[in-house]
A and B are shown apart, each in its own frame.
Chain A
């Protein structure tokens, strides 16, 4: 127990990196995933194909491989990214966007086609139809699966520990080495800090869900 208390400053440093990876990759994934979903329902076949290919690649590639690609292979091909958290943010965003896209797309599909047809019939273009009519209604069914995606992202940030980013899991590994007698307590401490992100996320999801349903 002492080991955990003594290590709180170290935990906090790791936690800040994990929180940073989660929030930044999460925000970027929401934007990129929504854009990909818009591509997937667009009338242009080329956009649909590109988005479908990216999504399938993201969904079917293990996250570690995505990291390997951005940390080792891209620099090998002459595209050098600055070290630190940037390659991790890119890898997490690319991977998570695919899941965001699928969640948003299923929400879009849950909105009746009549809504989009009525929007087009008064002269709204494709983007306005999506933005003003379809997406606001898709939101209601999209929030719960999106929160699940973001919770998965929180845990997925731990993969960065294997690629020279000292976030929560890497911190825990270091502490376990320093306090070999208290490995279990030290790792429970790590798990607790992850819950600090995922439990509020779940609560926010519940709140948003109730709000969206009420305004119907």
Chain B
């Protein structure tokens, strides 16, 4: 039930050394500095560009020391990050939209090679037509490739999740690449006061990166990813499958450790945040910055006595199947907010809807469920919009048909 936002104004002492005005991109850059990243590969595309700008400024200003490589494209950028990670350098990359997609080949192999660099994705609609607004399909493209993937909703969380992300990704039991996604514009370019951890606190939380027996080094002669035939691939997939499952436990551990160092910033079950759900009958679940208008709508509707709540899904991979199933099956109806699309998929739902619905299938009590397609290409998702979604979801409780199963929000019609 806790919400990071509610605690943002606490004392500046101990693990946090100062408060800065930072947007999401700059907050990520501060996280990269505090994680003491060794190698950064960069190639511009907005809205991610400001991350690389902020990092180069930190280095130029002498506040941070790292190898900073400007690549000739995202494909090379991601390859550099992957290779740096394989020689035991903590490595960082990032991109947005079609740039992210252009480097897809490198992103896929980073996962199969089980390397743990961190990439930030400033979510952006996939061109064509040329568009800059947020949409989640770019980051979602890696969801089944063996990546860790989470969304943050504030610059504070963005900074902290660079540290948390490396902590989980580099864990011996996991060693998977980490995708840290944040809504383009609404978070990447939204400035807030951010408490910046001290170097000592960051160090205390985040252990050294050690690839150990898999470190590519002349003293440890190995081959990484040689050509294999039908005799090997299935076993490798099984290893990735296990790692993704193990990651669920490691995520929990990481948040607990983070809380130990930084005070109780996050509460169980960590993979998602629930807001005013204790006695709720109807909830919305969504990803990213839609949390703010949705939670505000909840507060206002609660004032009128309506039992509504909001679930902010933070971790998409691994998907918190058991916890979310348990949570959502308490409600009478669930409205799933998709800031993405999956054209022609079953019932033509969005991606999040497919995942939530599939997660609920084995539940004893299956709530009524409806889907909202909204905020695509950076279109507004306002308090009024989320309020409307709550109302539609409330009606779904009584409905016994697929009528009104999907509603497009904010569409000119």
A and B co-occur in one complex: no
